[in-house]
Structures are given as structure tokens and as C-alpha cells.
Structure 1
Amino acid sequence: MSTGENRTEVFRSPITDRAAWNAESIGGKAGVTYALDAAELSAIARLLERTRHRATYDLAKSDFETPELQRCFASICHEIMHGTGVVLVSGVTPEAFEPADFERIFWGFGLRFGTPAVQSAAHNRIGHVRNEKENPRNRGYMSDRELGFHSDAFEVIGLMCVQNAPSGGLTHIVSSLAVHNELLKHAPHVLDALYEGYPYATAERTVSSRPVTDYSIPVFSRVGQTVSSMCVDTYMRMAADKLGVTFPPDLDEGLQRFFDTCARKDLLLEFLLDPGEILLLNNFTTVHSRTKFEDSDTQRRHLLRLWLKVADGRPVVPALLARGTDYEDLCQRG
């Protein structure tokens, strides 16, 4: 893959579709919530009983097809792919369902929107986001520290809360397309470097024969009139270190402007995921972060995570898909 395939012309007009939202227009947590009704919850309960004799990973998309959930799945899919890119599903509570069933419910929802990707060398397709004593690669999702704004490796990200922390662990989401609009308005000169992008050096690549990607991943890119994003600044800076070169000053300024804009309260969607709630994000139109949290002896923050590959998804440059493909290939070899 050549860098030229991924470097596109800067989109110089304001992005006006619904994915370019701000804190007011999206309406807070309530504005992104799809509340499951009684019929939908009853259908989920029946699906659980019908599939209980089978392992979670053995279940297919067809196992979660039922007329009562058609409207739900269609509405959520449209919102993720063609709307704001953010949906929070509520109604699956510890009072209504056993927390032991959350993983199966989450898997069923994920299969309706994409194919779950491998997330680790153990070939896990459901990740566990929690503070682990054993964290040899210092992975952020296995820590209790604050995680800055970033993009994950696949098109749709799913998180389901099993248990929140006694304190901290707030979720932050920003429309990266709204950030693009603000940069176009206030600092248009930084967009060229952000569209150029930079190679990545991921945690998985550090133990491979190719620790740095041989292609650049742009922060912003376009296919026709469709703008998309991907940004993990730590991987870009690690790549420069691995290559023994100075990080480009214009990209450094662009990233600082990007993250300063992400932190603006007028753009930021902030909330706490409650047990049983499922959050689905379009990774190509949003970036997300998490505040530091503290566990206690009796309460430990625990989220489930899905990375979903979407067939015929958003039109994007090759690098945005290659990052996920590379990640999964490295995990499967590990």
C-alpha cells in the first residue's frame, strides 16, 4: 500500500451531515439513547433461553433474528452508519437480566451490526476492559488510568457495562467531523498535515518483524464528499521514535490543535455507562476517551468490548481498514 492511496485533498467546506454534531445538538446522554421497550426485552429473554445450551462464540447472526427486534436493529444501524454515529442502548439492567447473561446479549447485538474481530493473541473476540494486575504491554484498556481521545482499530466499537467503578470512569465522545469544522474555521493551515498523517507503531507491532506500518494513516481523509477520521497520536509518535526521526512539527501542531478542540465542553458528550447499557460508536466519525477511575475491594469497573468489521461500510481510504486487518493478523499469529 502506498502513502499516496491514503493522502487525499483537504475538504474545504463545512461538514453539514448529522455526524458533525456538538454537545447541544446531540442532546446529551438522553439524546443518543435507544430505550428497549417491553416487547423487545421479552424477545431478548426468549432468545437467551433458546440459545442457552450453546457457547456464546458459536452463536450466529441468524440466532438473534426475531420480528420484535427488527425495528430496534434497523434504527440503531441507521443511526450508527448514517446518523450521529453514537447509540446507547438501555433497558438491559441487572434487575431484568442476570449479569452473567450480559456477554451473550452483547454478542447478539454485535452480530447484528458487523463481524466481531479478534482482539488478542488468545483469539478473544469479546474484550474485558478493566484494571488488571498483569499488564505486560501496559495496555490502556487494562489499566485504571485516564485514556485520551483516540480511535480504535475497527469501524464500529461496542462497549457494554457490567459494573461501573465507585468513582471515575466517565466516557467522553466527540464528533471528529465537528472537530474538522472547527479546525477549518479557526486553524485551516493544520489540516494539510492531518490529511498527510503518519505511520503507526502499535503495541502489537513492537513484537513483530515490522514494528512500524509501511503506510501512513491520515487523521482526516475523504472519499468523494465523505470525510472520515482516525487518530492515535501515541502510535504516531512511537513510530517516529522507532524510525529514529524527528516528529514533523506541522503534524505536532495539528495534533495539539485537534486534541485541544476535542476537549471543548461545547463539543463534548460526557456520561457514565451504567450496568447493562450498551454503547455503539462509529469509529470513523467519532473519537472517545475515558477519565481515570478507582476500584474498591467490593466494586470493580468492568466493561465488555467488541470491535466490529462492517461489510459495505463507510467509504474510506485503504489505511483506515488496513489498521484493523493488521491488528487482527498480528493477534492471530501471536
Structure 2
Amino acid sequence: MSSAEYLQGACVWHGVEMRENQRWVKQFPPAVLAEIDAAVGRTGNTAWHDLTRENFPLPSADAFFDDVRAELENGSGMVKIRGLDVSCYDPEQLRRIWYALGRHLGTPMFQNRRGELMREIRDEGAGVGAKLYGSTVDASGKEFLSSGARTLSPGELRFHTDRCDVVGLLCVRQASEGGVSKLASSATIYNEMLRRRPDLHALLCKPIPRSRFGEEAGGQYVAYDLPVFGVRDGKLTSHFSLTYIENAQLLPGVRKLSDDEHEAIRLLLQLAQEHCFEMRFAPGDIQLLNNHVIYHGRTAFKDDASTGQDRMLMRLWLSVPDSRALPEDHAILWGDVSGGMPRGGIAQPATPHMN
């Protein structure tokens, strides 16, 4: 029998509750929208990646962003912000706005080993994602795409977390069909698994082999062990992406999962589906998710460029100043596990490995 305790707090929720009580949906105050518009006009000669809180000032936004961060860290773990009219800005202006908003919320982190701080998420066409992020073959000889490659296709994305405290998505355009965001509380799944199958829950609190396929390259960092569930000071962190677990099973010298561990992972995905809810972006919507307590996925989508309905989101990975402390064994993935410190993201080839 597991000795784990049930998690408490606003991060424990069910999908029906989130549909009915949209405490997580916030509207940009008019004063903040006016300041965004003024700042983007003043920074026309500044590259988006050179923007800071100081050269893109939003003096009326402090209380608003404090409220957003509080909901992310101590509330439901997710926020949708409405009110930005993306039709008023050209693509470069939108990059400046989105990156500057990220700087006001936290610190943008590298999303891949090419050093990208912002990534456009859309259907890049057959083969592009595999070329950028890598592919291999599975035991049957079928192509196996990295997690990064899958995001650049129109296919379904399974429930997963990203390698940062908070992932932010700005919707610029939506697909003609599909592309629905699926969100589930990993804290609820933790509790439900503990209630239904404490034996399987205990297995996910122990190290599970992962790969860094499509992330950092080389040597001793190709594979590592990390629990799916970790708790410190009563707060959960759950890092989960089945792609990295599956790929690790293809690598020589990596421990093979037991039948019970496979069953535990299947139950996790089943519970995520049971307790999730679906949300479709509209252009201008901003979605922010605390990866420690939220699993996210996506339904497949179909574009229609002739009508301007070709799905494109701008993504930021953020380290936030009020982030939770993590268990010590999570340093292998996160680097610094103390609360409020810059962490996560992908280590860069030109710099010492941080994880």
C-alpha cells in the first residue's frame, strides 16, 4: 500500500468544473491594451528578442500579471487571457508583443538546441519536423517522430508536459477544423490513481527511464531516470511525455519497463481523458499552463489556407519568479530545483550542460 497522501488545493479539479466555473479566464484591462499598443509603436526598431520589461513598459499591468501568476502557481494552474486583437498587428509586431509579455511574466527559456526562444507551432509539412527535431524507427521499422517533430504536424498530440515551468501559446490563426486543446489536472490524476490503484501510483513515484530524443545531443545525457510524480512541500510536479518514455525503450542499455509500469502509464492516460476538458482557441487568445500540474494535448486539425484558417500559434517557454521548489532528484531535468530560479528549457551546445 502506498504511503502517499492526497493532494489538496485549487489545482485539483475536474473538467466539468472548469467548463462551468471559468475562474481561469481573464480579460486584458483596457489600460494594459493601450500600453501594449503604445509600446509596440515605440519599439519598431528593436528586435523582438532584445525587448525587456524596461524598454517595453506596461506600468498598468503589474497587478494583472501578479493575478495571472497566482492562478498559475496556486490556483488551477492554467489561465486563458482574452482581449488582444491580433488583426491590428503585423507578424513582427506580434512577435514583439508576445515576447515582451513573456518578459513581464517571467524569463523565456530555450525551446530547442538551435537556441529558439519563440517557436511558431503549425503544420510545417511532411518531413520538416523530423528534419528539425529528429526521427528514428521503432522495433517494427516504422518511423518514430520526436515530440518536437509531432508538434509541427497536424496530427493529434497525446497528453504531455513541456520542459518549462509555464508554457505560453498565443493564437494568431485557428484551423478550419480541429486543433482543440485538451487540458487535465495532473494533481487530480495523481489523486485518482492513488485512490483506484495505489500499487500503480507507487510505480510512477519511482524513476522511469526517459530519453532526450530531439533535445540535447550526445553521450551520457541521451537517457535519464525521473519519476512521473514528485511532491515537495505538498506541491506536485509531474513531468510526462510518453514519446520520451517510448524512445528510451528503443535504446540499448536502458531498463525495460515492467508490465505493471506499462499498465500504470495506460491508466494515467485513461484518467487524463476522463477528467479533461476541451478548449478551442480563438485568434488573440493566450493560453498559459503550469506544466507541474497540467497535462495538455491537442486534437488533429485541418487547415484551409484559402480562407485564412491555417492554424498558427506562437509559443514561449517561461521560467517564472514564483515557481515551486522541486524534489532533489528532478535536478537531472530542471537544473536548479529551488523555487523561483531560472530553470528548464533545452541546454545549448555552446554552453555547459545545465541538467
Same fold (TM over 0.5): yes
Partner of 1:329: 347
TM-score, with normalisation over the residues of structure 1? 0.89
Cα drift, residue 157 of structure 1: 0.5
**Cα shift at 1:101:** 2.4
CA contact (8 A) 1:212 1:242 kept: no
Write the distance in 1 (CA, Å) between the matches of 2:3 and 2:12.
Answer: 14
1:163 and 2:173 matched? yes
Look up the match of 1:294: 302
2:200 is the alignment partner of 1:208: no
Q: Residues 213 and 222 of structure 2 are in contact (CA less than 8 Å); yes or no, is this contact kept in structure 1?
A: no
- The within-5 A match list for 1:298-317 is 298=306, 299-311=309-321, 313-317=323-327
User: Within 5 Å, which residues of 2 pair with 1:64-143?
Assistant: 64-98=56-90, 100-133=92-125, 134-135=128-129, 136=131, 137=134, 138=145, 139-143=149-153
1:55 paired residue among 39, 47, 62: 47
Cα deviation, residue 329, structure 1: 1.6
Whether 1:185 aligns to 2:195 is yes
Give 1:170-319 correspondences, 5 Å limit: 170-204=180-214, 207-210=217-220, 212-214=222-224, 216-244=225-253, 245-264=255-274, 267-298=275-306, 299-311=309-321, 313-319=323-329
CA contact (8 A) 1:197 1:217 kept: yes
Contact 1:29 1:270 in 2 (8 A): no
Question: SS state of the match for residue 250, structure 2?
Answer: helix
In structure 2, C-alpha distance between the alignment counterparts of 1:206 and 1:226, rounded to whole Å = 28
- Distance in 1, matches of 2:222 and 2:260, equals 21
Q: Which runs of 5+ in 2 are unaligned?
A: 135-144, 336-343
Change (3 A) 1:320 1:111: farther
Query: Aligned AA for 1:281?
Result: L
Q: 1:204 to 1:95 in 2, by over 3 A?
A: closer
CA shift, 1:170, in A, is: 0.3
Which moved further from structure 2: 119-128 or 21-30? 21-30
Paired position in structure 1 for 2:162 = 152
Query: What's the CA shift for 1:251?
Result: 1.5
Offset at residue 183 of structure 1 (A): 0.9
* Corresponding residue for residue 8 of structure 2: 16
Distance in 1 (CA, whole Å) between partners of 2:34 and 2:216 is 47
Q: Displacement of 1:309 after TM fit? A: 1.9
Deviates more, 1:305-314 or 1:121-130: 305-314
**Aligned Cα RMSD in Å?**
2.4
Q: CA deviation at 1:28?
A: 5.3
Point out where structure 1 has 5 or more consecutive residues left out of the alignment: 1-8
Aligned-partner Cα distance in 1 for 2:2–2:57? 42
- Identity of counterpart residues, as a percentage? 26
2:142 is matched with which residue? none
Question: Given the superposition, is the C-alpha separation of residues 280 and 11 from structure 1 closer, same or farther in structure 2, using an over 3 Å criterion?
Answer: farther
Question: How high is the TM-score relative to the length of structure 2?
Answer: 0.84
Task: Work out whether residues 7 and 234 of structure 2, in 8 Å CA contact, stay in contact via their aligned partners in 1.
Answer: no
- Whether the 8 Å contact between 2:36 and 2:58 is mirrored in structure 1 is no
Higher helix share: 1
CA distance 1:206–1:14, change in 2 (3 Å): closer
SS of the residue 1:182 aligns to: helix
Q: Report the residue type matching 2:271 in the other structure.
A: T
State the alpha-carbon separation in 1 of the partners of residues 170 and 108 from structure 2: 14
- Tell which deviates more after alignment, 308-317 or 280-289: 308-317
Residue type of the alignment partner of 1:18: A
Q: Which moved further from structure 2: 122-131 or 304-313?
A: 304-313
Residue of structure 2 equivalent to 1:6 = none
Q: Which structure would you say has the larger RCO, counting Cα contacts within 8 Å and 6 or more residues apart? A: 1
Displacement, 1:237? Answer: 2.4
What is the letter of the counterpart of residue 272 of structure 1? R
CA distance 1:318–1:144, shift in 2 (3 Å): farther
Question: Could you tell me how far apart the structure 2 residues matched to 1:240 and 1:39 are?
Answer: 52
8 Å Cα contact 1:120/1:332 also seen in 2: no
